[in-house]
Amino acid sequence: MNLIRGFENVARQSEPLAMHTWFQLGGPAQYYAEPEDIDQLTTLVRRCHEEGVEMRLLGQGSNILVRDEGVPGMVIHLSSPAFCEIRVEGRSLTVGGGALLGRAVTTAVHRGLAGLETLIGIPGTVGGALHGNAGTHSGNIGQWTLEATVIAANGEVHQRSSDELVFGYRQSSLDDLVILEASCRLEEDNPHELAQRMQKHWIVKKASQPMGHQSAGCVFKNPRGASAGELIDDAGLKGMRIGGAVVSDRHANFIIAEPECTAQDVLRLIELVRGQVRDRMGIELELELEIW
Ligand code: EPU
């Protein structure tokens, strides 16, 4: 069966993924689709399920590294406006999984709804943020999320209510294939003061993290009670390089991809950093970055 028959205008084969990720590295997806609505999306998901084809959901590509050889199966990207809506009703903010987290944050602040402003500057989509419970030292998206609509790998749509949602540090029970939509219950506040608080968070982030470089956020999770960035820094690894991959001078938990960098360079640098921190500090760093 031709997997993308009838979907030629929204799906293709051998799509280069580098341009869809922040690292701008890595090979192609065997199949790639940007469905226009839920019907197209569920049809594609069911087809892949029936054919035993692996599926992956791509958000903004701000927390993944695609291997140079590319990825088998189908990569689905929710770029259509149908998946990016944001609605406010009272204290409730309902956001499509494909919407940018930054848009959700600024919409909430404009409407005088507090909670998400600490997340300003975190790249990616709302779906991606919920999948990994994106956050900062001041809060995370999960703590405000009350319910979500998801699509399972067999194409069934489910509603996940608050008693089914469990969020931990960079962890979420929302592990279904697609996060279609989620609702957050926020707190009323003064929009002007909220905007000022948001700006403060933005300034702190900009001062401590490399922005405007080819990178994908923090590479490792913080081990309990410690900062991965500080450990890597203390191990003297800032500026360490393999090929075109370099440990950031500004924040040691970021890897920057310079021109000519390959995904393999980044993978080798990750192993080098991990090995050095293990040998010197006796701590095993766990990846936050997803490797495809
Ligand atoms: N530090 C160093 N050297 C470095 C980096 C950090 O000594 O190169 C020290 C800092 O001086 C500070 C401590 O380590 O004393 C913590 O640093 P920071 O405040 O930058 O926070 P972090 O723990 O490294 C976490 C999140 C970030 C989030 C910030 C701000 C993780 C893995 N990282 O970083 O999230 O933006 O807090 O709240 O949890 C991400 O998840 O991708 C991410 C960037």
**In the chain, pLDDT over 70 holds for what percent of residues?**
100
Task: For residues 202-229, give the mean pLDDT.
Answer: 92
pLDDT for res 1 = 64
Task: For residues 274-283, give the mean pLDDT.
Answer: 97
The residue contributing the CA closest to ligand 1 atom 29 is 136
Cβ-based neighbour number of residue 261 at 10 Å: 22
- Rounded to 5 degrees, what are φ and ψ at 247? -75, 125
Q: Which residues line ligand 1 (CB under 6 A)?
A: 136-137, 205, 208, 217-218, 221-222, 227-230, 233, 251-253, 288
- Rounded to 5 degrees, what are φ and ψ at 210? -75, 115
- Name the residue of 60, 65, 204, 253 whose CB sits within 8 Å of the most ligand 1 atoms, as the mutation to test its pocket: 253
Are the CB atoms for 237 and 252 separated by under 8 Å?
yes
Burial-class residue 153 by CB neighbours within 10 Å (0-12, 13-18, 19+). middle
**Separation of alpha carbons 241 and 83, rounded Å:** 39
Burial-class residue 150 by CB neighbours within 10 Å (0-12, 13-18, 19+). buried
Per-residue model confidence as pLDDT tens digits over 149-173? 999 999 999 999 999 999 999 999 9
From ligand 1's centre to the CA of 270, what distance in Å? Answer: 17
pLDDT band at 76 (very low <50, low <70, confident <90, very high): very high
Question: What letter would DSSP give residue 41?
Answer: H
pLDDT for res 144 = 98
| Continuous segment of H or E residues that includes residue 47 | helix 38-51
Q: What is the mean pLDDT of the chain?
A: 96
User: Which ligand 1 atom lies nearest to the CA of residue 248?
Assistant: 8
Distance from the Cα of residue 199 to its chain's centroid: 22
**Separation of alpha carbons 150 and 181, rounded Å:** 7
Task: For residues 262-275, give the mean pLDDT.
Answer: 98
Are the CB atoms for 247 and 237 separated by under 8 Å?
yes
pLDDT for res 6 = 92
pLDDT for res 260 = 94
Is the per-residue pLDDT at 211 higher than 90?
no
175-201 in b/e burial notation, b at 16+ Cβ within 10 A? ebbbbbbbbbebeebeeeebeebbeeb
pLDDT band at 213 (very low <50, low <70, confident <90, very high): confident
pLDDT for res 225 = 93
pLDDT for res 37 = 97
Which residues does 250 contact at the CB level (< 8 Å), separation at least 6? Answer: 208, 209, 210
Q: Provide the residue count of the chain.
A: 292
Are the CB atoms for 40 and 7 separated by under 8 Å?
yes
Is the per-residue pLDDT at 14 higher than 70?
yes
**Separation of alpha carbons 266 and 244, rounded Å:** 8
Give the 3-state secondary structure of residue 108: helix
Task: For residues 3-20, give the mean pLDDT.
Answer: 95
The residue contributing the CA closest to ligand 1 atom 22 is 227
**In the chain, pLDDT over 90 holds for what percent of residues?**
96
Is the per-residue pLDDT at 212 higher than 80?
no
Is the per-residue pLDDT at 262 higher than 80?
yes
pLDDT for res 2 = 86
User: Which ligand 1 atom lies nearest to the CA of residue 220?
Assistant: 32
Name the CA radius of gyration of the chain, rounded. Answer: 19
From ligand 1's centre to the CA of 205, what distance in Å? Answer: 9
Are the CB atoms for 173 and 164 separated by under 8 Å?
yes
Per-residue model confidence as pLDDT tens digits over 169-195? 999 999 999 999 999 999 999 999 999
pLDDT for res 84 = 98
Per-residue model confidence as pLDDT tens digits over 21-67? 999 999 999 999 999 999 999 999 999 999 999 999 999 999 999 99
Are the CB atoms for 7 and 44 separated by under 8 Å?
yes
From ligand 1's centre to the CA of 213, what distance in Å? Answer: 17
Cα three-residue angle 25-134-74, rounded to 5 degrees: 45
**Separation of alpha carbons 253 and 59, rounded Å:** 22
Are the CB atoms for 270 and 219 separated by under 8 Å?
yes
Task: For residues 243-248, give the mean pLDDT.
Answer: 98
